[in-house]
């Protein structure tokens, strides 16, 4: 966000009535707003902070195709046909992002870099290979398994033992993209209000009454697209997710020699550990390195600072030659994690549309989610992917179990 081009928000007060009000100016909300505004609807987006201030501006810049977790597990829980459909939905969403970037002329360094999922232990290799074989057979023939010898041209580390290459995956400058989306909403006639907290919502007489600091307004349709930062408006939405902090550091720009000795493949990378890491090079050659450094519901500046030594230790373990490298940025954000790590689209009991539970894969699936929300309003057509999945609310008080969840995940990594 520090190197994004910036966005000039809507000036003045909101109007008294809108066709659609959207809570959350991140990827999902802005994609929905763009589609609705292009269709001629009167749309307003409200963001409690700046555009992209939530998860959309606080991630690692990865657009990973396919599923973040085991495809075999998805087949077991959803069935072959739905697992295949889900996998290809992530692929299609990246295609849609690329299309939006081209249509709107957004300069955000989008690049089909490919993703490598790395086996962090010798015991992980067989499962990684088997998962790749199943994906090639069922969903994506382009996925390729790389053994340790094959990895030498991709990544130089003694702590990775094999890799699964997803060629369709991409990367981009997330701040530039989200600001470009907001600018596109404006260009198509929508409004985007920054630093405007939605204080309350109420359904009455077939309309939504929306309360913001500047006053009240009325809308025919309401979309909740704020992830964890907007879930406070609906208990139905909030109970479907837990907020889990994810933290990122960005180093000084690496030299050519440092890149050759660490990540010559210049892809996006993710490790196979339950408490693992994700990393890539930015266009200016900074190493952007993230992970679940701490299992916490806070991802503010203090929490991000406390995550630095934890992430540095993981970075040094992967690349000893980068021990002690200067860290120029440290930040964190909240992941809205669902119980099964699959997103959900739906409506609340009183009729608000929502997308929730993007579970750390929001950058890539957001384009599909935002477009699907817009289609619900424009065409009355529910999506046949995520809306068929029954919501799985967490028990009340589950948030206090996060330290236990973290301890269990680390124990599984130690034992694997």
Q: What is the DSSP string of 78-134?
A: H-HHHHHHHHHHHHHHHHHHHHHHHHHT--S--B---EEEE-SSGGGHHHHHHHHHH
Distance (Å, whole) CA 169 – CA 111: 9
User: Does the predicted TM-score (pTM) go above 0.75?
Assistant: yes
Distance (Å, whole) CA 218 – CA 105: 33
| The pLDDT of residue 406 | 63
Distance (Å, whole) CA 325 – CA 252: 7
Reading the chain (416 residues) residue by residue, the pLDDT tens digits are 999 988 887 888 999 999 999 999 999 999 999 999 999 999 999 999 999 988 899 899 999 998 877 899 899 988 999 999 999 999 999 999 999 999 999 999 999 999 999 999 999 999 999 999 999 999 999 999 999 999 999 999 999 999 999 999 999 999 999 999 999 999 999 999 999 999 999 999 999 999 999 889 999 999 999 988 888 899 999 999 988 888 999 999 999 999 999 999 999 999 998 789 999 999 999 999 999 756 666 667 888 888 999 999 999 999 999 999 999 999 988 888 898 889 999 999 999 999 999 988 889 999 999 999 999 999 987 777 887 778 888 888 777 666 666 665 665 766 67
Residue 189, domain member (yes or no): yes
DSSP 155-221: ---TT--EEEEETT-EE--HHHHHHHHHHHHHHTT-EEESS----EEEEETTEEEEEETTEEEEEEE
Which CATH number belongs to the domain containing residue 382 in this structure? 3.50.50.60
Q: What angle do CA 332, 338, 342 make, to 5 degrees?
A: 110
Count of domains in the chain?
1
Distance between alpha carbon 103 and the CA centroid of its chain, in Å?
22
- The DSSP element (H or E) to which 376 belongs, if any, is helix 362-379
Residue 95, domain member (yes or no): yes
The tokens describing 382, both together, are 């529910």
The tokens describing 177, both together, are 């993209």
Residue 382, domain member (yes or no): yes
Residue 151, domain member (yes or no): no
Distance (Å, whole) CA 224 – CA 28: 10
Instruction: Give me the phi and psi of 225, to 5 degrees please.
Output: -130, 30
Distance (Å, whole) CA 214 – CA 217: 9
Residue 217, domain member (yes or no): yes
Q: Which residues contact 92 (CB under 8 A, 6 or more apart)?
A: 368
Residue 332, strand partner residues: 247
Instruction: Give me the phi and psi of 34, to 5 degrees please.
Output: -60, -45
* Closest to 87 in 3D by CA, of 107, 69, 111: 69
* Closest to 168 in 3D by CA, of 94, 226, 221: 94
Residue with tokens 């249509």: 103
Q: How many residues does the chain have?
A: 416
Q: Which residues contact 119 (CB under 8 A, 6 or more apart)?
A: 125, 128, 160, 161, 162, 163, 272
Quick check: 35 and 370 in contact, CB under 8 A?
yes
Residue with tokens 């119980």: 339
Domain that holds residue 358: 14-109+170-241+339-390
| The pLDDT of residue 295 | 61
Residue 120, domain member (yes or no): no
Residue 105, domain member (yes or no): yes
Q: Classify residue 342 as exposed, middle or buried by CB count within 10 Å of its CB (0-12, 13-18, 19+).
A: buried
The string over 159-187, giving b where at least 16 C-beta atoms fall within 10 Å of a residue's C-beta and e elsewhere, is ebbbbbbbebbbbbbbbbbbbbbbbbbbe
Distance between alpha carbon 332 and the CA centroid of its chain, in Å?
13
| The pLDDT of residue 361 | 87
Quick check: 208 and 353 in contact, CB under 8 A?
no
Residue 414, domain member (yes or no): no
Coil vs helix vs strand at 300: coil
């Amino acid at each position: 966000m520090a190197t994004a081009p910036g966005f000039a928000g809507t000036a003045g007060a909101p109007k008294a009535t809108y066709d659609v009000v959207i809570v959350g100016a991140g990827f999902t909300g802005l994609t929905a707003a763009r589609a609705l505004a292009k269709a001629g609807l009167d749309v307003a987006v409200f963001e409690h902070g700046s555009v992209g201030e939530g998860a959309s501006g606080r991630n690692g810049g990865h657009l990973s195709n396919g599923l973040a977790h085991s495809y075999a597990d998805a087949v077991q829980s959803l069935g072959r046909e739905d697992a295949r459909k889900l996998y290809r939905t992530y692929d299609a969403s990246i295609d849609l992002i690329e299309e939006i970037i081209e249509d709107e002329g957004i300069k955000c360094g989008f690049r089909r870099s490919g993703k490598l999922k790395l086996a962090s232990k010798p015991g992980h290799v067989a499962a990684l290979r088997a998962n790749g074989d199943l994906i090639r057979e069922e969903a994506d023939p382009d996925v390729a398994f790389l053994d340790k010898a094959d990895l030498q041209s991709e990544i130089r580390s003694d702590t990775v033992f094999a890799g699964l290459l997803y060629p369709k995956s991409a990367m981009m400058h997330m701040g530039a993209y989200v600001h470009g989306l907001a600018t596109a909403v404006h260009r198509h006639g929508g409004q985007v209000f920054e630093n405007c907290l939605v204080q309350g919502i109420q359904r009455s007489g077939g309309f939504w009454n929306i309360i913001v600091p500047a006053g009240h307004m009325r809308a025919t349709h309401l979309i909740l697209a704020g992830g964890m930062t907007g879930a406070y408006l609906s208990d139905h939405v909030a109970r479907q997710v837990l907020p889990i902090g994810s933290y990122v550091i960005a180093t000084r720009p690496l030299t050519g020699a440092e890149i050759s000795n660490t990540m010559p493949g210049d892809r996006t990378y993710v490790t196979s550990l339950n408490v693992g890491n994700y990393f890539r090079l930015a266009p200016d050659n900074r190493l952007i390195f993230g992970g679940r450094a701490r299992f916490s519901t806070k991802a503010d500046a203090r929490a991000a600072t406390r995550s630095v030594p934890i992430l540095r230790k993981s970075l040094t373990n992967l690349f000893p030659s980068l021990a002690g490298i200067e860290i120029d940025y440290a930040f964190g954000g909240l992941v809205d994690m669902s119980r099964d790590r699959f997103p959900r689209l739906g409506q609340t009991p009183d009729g608000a549309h929502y997308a929730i539970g993007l579970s750390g894969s929001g950058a890539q699936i957001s384009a599909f989610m935002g477009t699907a929300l817009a289609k619900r309003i424009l065409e009355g057509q529910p999506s046949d992917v995520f809306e068929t999945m029954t919501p799985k609310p967490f028990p009340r008080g589950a948030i206090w179990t996060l330290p236990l969840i973290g301890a269990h995940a680390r124990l599984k990594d130690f034992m694997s």
